[in-house]
Each structure stands twice: as C-alpha cells, then as structure tokens.
Amino acid sequence: MAVLLPVPRLFLVLLIVAAFSTGVFGESETNAENNTSLTSTLAISVIVLICLICAIFYCAGTPIVHRDPLPPWAHYIQPHPNLVSHGFNSVSDGLSITNPTTVVRHRNGSFETDGAKWSGGISGGKHVFEINWPENFRGTTATIGVGSINASLFLKPKGPLVGNDKLSRGLDISSKRVIHLGKPVKRCCGSNGHIPQQFYMYVDADSGNVGFGSSFEFWGFPIIGIPKDLYPLYVMIGVSVQGSYVQVTYRGTAPDPNVPGPTGGQIFLVQQPVLVQTPMPVAPPPNDGNQKY
C-alpha cells in the first residue's frame, strides 16, 4: 500500500504555499488599500491556486512503500565457528567448485539446471548469507534457497531447481517468485521488483523461515514454515546459464541469548554430505607412433 504524500515533503510544501500566500495576499491587501484594481487581485489569487495544485501533483507522484523491518537479530550476527569453515562441496557434473564459496557452470548450453549444495546443514539458529549473482548469469531461471540432504542437484529440462520438489524451498531471482513443488507460489522481492547482483538470505531455522533483502532494503520472509523433517537445511542454488559463476558467503549467526558464550553455543547441527566433485577431463596419452589402436 502506498501513501500519496510523504510527511516531510507535505510540511515543506504547506510551508512554502503558506509563506507565498501570506506575501501575495498581504500584497493584495496593500494594493487594495492603494486602490489597486480588482483584476490584479484576482490574477494573484489564480496564481496561488495554480501553485497549490502543482504542489499537490508533485507530492502525489512520490509514493511511500511500506517495507518490512529488518529482523532485530540480523543486527547482531557474528561468525560461528561451526559454520565459518563450510562452503560448497556437493555439485552436479555441470558445475565446478573454484573455491569454497564459488561455483562456475561449465556445461555447454542452457537446457538443464545444475545445482550446488552447502557442506554444513543447519538445524537451528538464525543465519545470514551473502549472495553474489551477476544479473547476466541468471537467464530464465536462477534459484537460491535451502533443501534437505537428499534434495536433487540436477534438473532436465531446465527449470527452477531449488523448490522443484518437497525436499527444498527456493526463490527464483529471475522470475522473482517463490518456488514450491516446482510451481511459483508468491512474488518477491523489493519495492521496485529489482534484485541486485549482491543480496542477502536470512535463514531462521528456529521457525523454518527464509527471508531475503538487499543492502538497502529487507524484503521479508517469503518462505515460511519449512517442516522439521527436512532438517538439517543446506543452502542450495540452481544455475542454468553457461559460463555463469555464483558466490555464496556465510556472514554470521545471531547469538542465542539462552546459551552462554560469545557465539551462542551449539545451537545447530552440522552434518557433512558426501563430497561430489566435478570430474575433470583427462587428456589422452601422446601417440609416439608405436602405439596401436
């Protein structure tokens, strides 16, 4: 819902109009006392009316969009020792892991969707992840979210991988839709509908909610009520554009006030899935002329 007139701008406009009106009508009274013609007074009144109408249209053209406030816990995140060492380690055969936080898609074409999964599963606590996903590497579908340890990492033909079945929940940042059971169910994100290259994912594993936001705006929790039988939750992505690279970085965890210690204690369970590395092509042995085929 939009508010048509921002309060600070409203006061400014009213102040300007009031000051202008006072001066104009004061001048009109002086002119009347000096036997100024009635035509001049009417002309000045029309000018004031036009200024007021223009001011109203000026203010009405700047809507205010009500935004969800950033969760209070997000202001107090700090690195947790159980998560700082984790990154991507499970990928489909169309992706390569260049470092723990970055994957690159080397598969030719854009007919399938390749996936990557985080190495640490989260079963509790509140966590923030930073995503760096260039807009020209998103294509028609690019998904980010969470899934269970058994969530699929490949989809053919291509489609929104994260959220494709009951084992994961995701956001397609190309269509800006939450994906559940392979279908778009809710629109997200932002007041202008734009998801920049760098944005954030907020995983509240205590309540089963996942939110998103940019550096300037929090978009709320479009994914809610993830069932506990999917836990622990693993950060996941789905990529379909050839040559694209995606970076996901763990930024911190909210301290648990009920657990002593500077990092909130052991508030989540970390499990290590089976490592699936992309097979690298092996060059054929050199032919010295004596080798027979």
Choose between 274 and 47: higher pLDDT: 47
Which pair of structure tokens corresponds to residue 26? Answer: 């004061």
Res 113: pLDDT: 98
Chain Cα centroid distance, residue 51: 41
pTM over 0.85: no
Res 101: pLDDT: 97
DSSP one-letter string for 90-132: EE-TTEEEEETTEEEE--SSSSSEEEEEESS-B-SSEEEEEEE
Res 256: pLDDT: 79
Which pair of structure tokens corresponds to residue 231? Answer: 């836990």
Res 149: pLDDT: 95
To the nearest whole number, what is the mean pLDDT of the chain? Answer: 78
Report pLDDT digits (tens) over 27-66: 444 544 555 555 666 666 667 667 666 555 554 443 334 4
Report pLDDT digits (tens) over 97-151: 999 999 999 999 999 999 999 999 999 999 999 999 999 999 999 999 999 999 9
Q: Is the pLDDT of residue 89 over 80?
A: yes
Cα dihedral 171, 224, 183, 66, rounded to 10, equals -60
For the beta carbon of residue 158, count every other beta carbon within 10 angstroms. Answer: 19
Taking the domains of the chain in order of start, what are their residue ranges? Answer: 2-65, 72-253
Query: What is the dotted CATH code of the domain comprising 72-253?
Result: 2.60.120.920
